Amino acid sequence: RADRTNDAKGEAMIDAAKPPQDGKYPQLLADLATHVAKFLAERLGIPQTDAEAAGFNTAEHVRELWGGQMLYI
């Protein structure tokens, strides 16, 4: 599991670049992290490592906001 730290506002951040590869991470969130990272790297020119970290942090933010809810997409 990724370690959590606090950002300047005191909000939790994840210290990891990619979702865990143990098969326990929700597939939807893993895909979201991958697509966000790809978009940031390819379209905005952000370095791959930074893009992967941002993608994973985005997926974790979505999980914190909507985790446990039944969603229809």
pLDDT means per 10 residues, the chain with 73 residues, are 51 60 86 96 96 95 93 83
Whether 53 contacts 16, CB under 8 Å: yes
Report the pLDDT value the prediction gives residue 64, as an integer from 0 to 100: 94
Report the pLDDT value the prediction gives residue 2, as an integer from 0 to 100: 45
pTM of the model: 0.72
- Token pair 């906001």 in the structure block, residue: 65
* Tokens at 65, concatenated: 């906001």
